[in-house]
Every structure is written in C-alpha cells, then in structure tokens.
Amino acid sequence: MIDFELSPEEEATVKAAHKTAEEVLRPIGRYYDEHEHENPQELIDTMWERRGEGGANSLGVVGALRIEEMCWGDAGLVLCLAGPGLGGAAVFTSGTQEQMGRFLKRFGEGKPVWAAMAMTESGCGSDTSAITATAVRDGDEWVLNGEKIFVTAGKRALEDSDGFVVVWATVDKTAGRAGMKPFVVEAGTPGMRVEKLEKKLGIRASDTATIVFEDCRIPYENILGSPEVRKIDRTKTAGFQKAMATFDATRPIVAAQAIGVARAALDFVKDVLEKEGIEIRYGVPRQKLSALEHDVMEMESAYKAAKLLTLRAVWMMSQGQANSLEASMSKAKAGLAVTKITQKAVELMGPLGYSRKYLFEKCMRDAKINDIFEGTGQINMLIVARRVLDFTREQLK
C-alpha cells in the first residue's frame, strides 16, 4: 500500500542523524572547507566509535533519509567519514562470499578504515570502457600498471588506514568491456602510491586522490567475482555489467546526498525570510504571488520531486526489484535540482548569498559535484533515455 510514514524506530534513526548533523558536522563544516586536506581526526574517530549505533547502518529508505540528514549537516565531511564506501559497495555487488569475508571484515573492528573505488583515468571519465590501466597475470599474481584519478577517499583508504581500493583494469585491451575487471589492492601494497590530492570547487573535506600503479603485484585471488579469466569470452561482459549494477545502489545514495545539500540551502533561505517576517503563502494563486515566493516554492517542489524519486529508487532496491531506470532518474533529477536550488539560494540572498560568512555559497559549491560524480547528469539522462526507449547503446549513443 502506498505509504509515506516512517515507523517510530525509523523516525528515531532519522532524528538521531539530524542531531549528529546539527551538533557535530555543521559547526566544523566551514573550517574544513577553508582548510582543505586537513584531517578532521576527532570527527572521524567519534563517528567510527558511533558506527552501528542508532540505525547508522540502515539501508534502504531509512538509510537514504539518514544520508540526507547528514549531508544537510555537511556533505564534504560525510564523504570523509570512514567506512566501506564505494569500494565496499563494489565488493558487495561483485565479490564472492570468500572475498566479502576477507575484505569487508575490517569495517566491523579496529581503527577507522576506508575503501575506495578507482575507475576514472585522465583519458576516460564517463566512458569507463575506455580504461587503459592493465592487469597482467603472472603466475599466482596480477601485475597492475596505470594511473587512476578522482579517487574519493583514496588517500584515506591507502595511506591513513589499512583499507583497500577497487581498481578497474583491463586484462585484454582488445576485448573492450569484456576485458574489464575489478581488482582489490590493499593498503601498503608495493608498486602503488598516492600521487596527489586534488584541490576542488567544493566538498573540500573529502580527499580526491590520484593513484599510480607501477608493476603493482597483488594476489591472484584479489580479482573480484569469478577468477576464471584465463580465456576471455568476448561475448560476455558480466564483470562490466556488475560494475554498472553497483551504480544502481550508489546513484540513489548520491541523490540522497544531493537532496541533503539542497534542503540545507532551502532551510537557510527560509530562516532568513522568517527573520525578515516574509511568509511563503502556499495555496495562493500564482498571479498573486511575489517573484520571491514563486522562486522559493519552485525550489521546494524541485527538492520534493528529487527526494521522492530517490526514495522510490532505494525502496525498489530494498524490495529486490530491478531499479536501474529509477536509480538513474533519481540521480539525474537530484543532481540538477541541487545545483539549481543552491544557485538560486545564492541569487535570492543577494549580498548574504555571496559572502563566506554564511553557508549559501558553500552549499552551491558542495552541490555541484552531485551532478558530476557517479555518472554526470548527462550520462544518467542517457541511461534513462535508453531504458524508456528500450534502446541498446548502439541504438542510442
């Protein structure tokens, strides 16, 4: 039955996340925005201690709502918190039972630890099938060579903790997608180094690393999924499909991050308007509304639209339903919505909007990444279009 009500426990989980966002993340967000690459160690340790408390590991709709709340607090800081992240998600979707045990166990014990995903290269972004990093088998080992960029939490995974990075490399360049495989490279593996950290427009608390692999040797068993790759079947792109399946889970999560930032901006705007005694008159005909009221309502409905699409996508996944279309819909909508909402907030707030004294401008900078990572808005539109048209990638390029 169509229902939008949370159970009391779920409600409590979301409230707890809001409290954390308000009391722990929000007060230090600006500091780490202005001190890029400085480590919020205390925050990381505190949040690591609290992991698993009060529904912090919730999946599905509540998990998404929790992420919205946290990103309402500060999106950059949320991205630097320890945990399995995208690397863990890849292991979870593509790994064997044995691999899940071996790689994911660390997230339940010990010190804070991260896992990252390394896919993008300087010469390929959205077209992940053009990856040039190579993996060559040498007896009981794989030898990796290549350079990966834009690895979120790459440094934290490899230098600050005993984490790992899931590296996408080709075992046969002539095989295209069929030759692309994910490999787990553990922190401390010789032949791998973090080359540099990017300086970014926003989410500055999050580290974005370049990682270089030079004859980096990893155990044969670290290839995710079936180890049977001696003969590459050119008609099968299962490995690649699984990478794409990871996106079905991660895209709505990014969408949830986006709506968190959007709501933060929207709440700031409403606070200012309330202080000025300006009321948004819902239910009044358009012809009678001020331009300001109209803009705020438009922002609010874009936020709502994005949020509901996001919740639907995660709900479907939690029900075991195929959600590729809905995941991409939510990401495309939320990425664009948060970009527009935060830019509008800066515009509406005039001198306040542009000043670093307030968070409007920061929201706008933090927002933009949501329309780029985990598939740009355009790539997600392409996926939605292919799905609704029932077209292959050859039919719609």
Residue with tokens 């990017």: 198
Q: How far is the CB of 263 from another protein (least distance, A)?
A: 14
Tell me, yes or no, if 300 is annotated catalytic.
no
The candidate with the shortest Cα–Cα distance to 142, out of 192, 193, 217, is 217
Q: Which is nearer to another protein, 220 or 391 (CB)?
A: 391
Scanning 170-178, 211-219, 307-315, 350-358 for contacts with another protein by CB under 8 A, the matching segment is 307-315
Q: How far is the CB of 91 from another protein (least distance, A)?
A: 28
CB-CB contact of 36 with 224 (8 Å): no
Rounded Cα–Cα distance for residues 102 and 219 (Å): 13
Among 136, 159, 176, 315, binds another protein (CB under 8 A): 315
Determine, following the binding rule CB under 8 A, whether residue 14 of this chain makes contact with another protein.
no
Q: Which two tokens stand for residue 370?
A: 């949501």
Rounded Cα–Cα distance for residues 79 and 200 (Å): 14
Q: Which is nearer to another protein, 201 or 388 (CB)?
A: 388
Q: Which is nearer to another protein, 277 or 283 (CB)?
A: 283
Q: Which is nearer to another protein, 174 or 287 (CB)?
A: 287
Determine, following the binding rule CB under 8 A, whether residue 308 of this chain makes contact with another protein.
yes
Determine, following the binding rule CB under 8 A, whether residue 322 of this chain makes contact with another protein.
no
Rounded Cα–Cα distance for residues 394 and 299 (Å): 37
Q: At 363, phi and psi to the nearest 5?
A: -55, -45
Q: Which is nearer to another protein, 190 or 283 (CB)?
A: 283
Q: Which residues ranging from 277 to 306 are in contact with another protein (CB under 8 A)?
A: 282-288, 297-298, 300-301, 304-306
Q: How far is the CB of 28 from another protein (least distance, A)?
A: 32
Among 30, 200, 312, 340, binds another protein (CB under 8 A): 312
Which spans in 319-371 are helix H? 324-348, 350-354, 360-368
CA terminus-to-terminus distance, the chain: 38
Determine, following the binding rule CB under 8 A, whether residue 332 of this chain makes contact with another protein.
yes
Q: Which is nearer to another protein, 206 or 324 (CB)?
A: 324
Among 311, 317, 341, 345, binds another protein (CB under 8 A): 311
Determine, following the binding rule CB under 8 A, whether residue 160 of this chain makes contact with another protein.
no
- Please tell me the count of residues contacting another protein according to CB under 8 A: 44
CB-CB contact of 272 with 352 (8 Å): yes
Q: Which is nearer to another protein, 174 or 319 (CB)?
A: 319
Determine, following the binding rule CB under 8 A, whether residue 127 of this chain makes contact with another protein.
no
Q: Which residues ranging from 195 to 254 are in contact with another protein (CB under 8 A)?
A: none
The candidate with the shortest Cα–Cα distance to 81, out of 119, 45, 33, is 45
Q: How far is the CB of 307 from another protein (least distance, A)?
A: 9
Q: Which is nearer to another protein, 5 or 140 (CB)?
A: 5
Q: Which residues ranging from 28 to 67 are in contact with another protein (CB under 8 A)?
A: 61
CA 224 to each of CA 203, 219, 350: distance values in angstroms, whole numbers, following the listed order: 30, 11, 51
CA 90 to each of CA 99, 241, 335, 391: distance values in angstroms, whole numbers, following the listed order: 11, 12, 22, 26
List 68, 326, 361, 374, catalytic entry: 374
| Burial class of residue 75 in the structure, from the number of CB atoms within 10 Å of its CB (0-12 exposed, 13-18 middle, 19+ buried) | buried
Determine, following the binding rule CB under 8 A, whether residue 3 of this chain makes contact with another protein.
yes
Rounded Cα–Cα distance for residues 342 and 322 (Å): 31
Among 177, 251, 333, 365, binds another protein (CB under 8 A): 333
Q: How far is the CB of 381 from another protein (least distance, A)?
A: 5
CB-CB contact of 159 with 116 (8 Å): no
Q: How far is the CB of 245 from another protein (least distance, A)?
A: 20
Rounded Cα–Cα distance for residues 376 and 170 (Å): 23
Scanning 41-49, 143-151, 256-264, 377-385 for contacts with another protein by CB under 8 A, the matching segment is 377-385
CB-CB contact of 114 with 153 (8 Å): yes
Q: Please, what is the Cα angle at 164 between 205 and 49, to 5 degrees?
A: 60
CB-CB contact of 17 with 69 (8 Å): yes
Element (H, E) at 146: strand 141-152
- Binding residues vs another protein (CB under 8 A): 1-7, 61, 282-288, 297-298, 300-301, 304-306, 308-309, 311-312, 315-316, 319, 326, 329, 332-333, 381-382, 384-386, 388-389, 391, 395-397
Which active-site residues does the annotation give?
Answer: 374
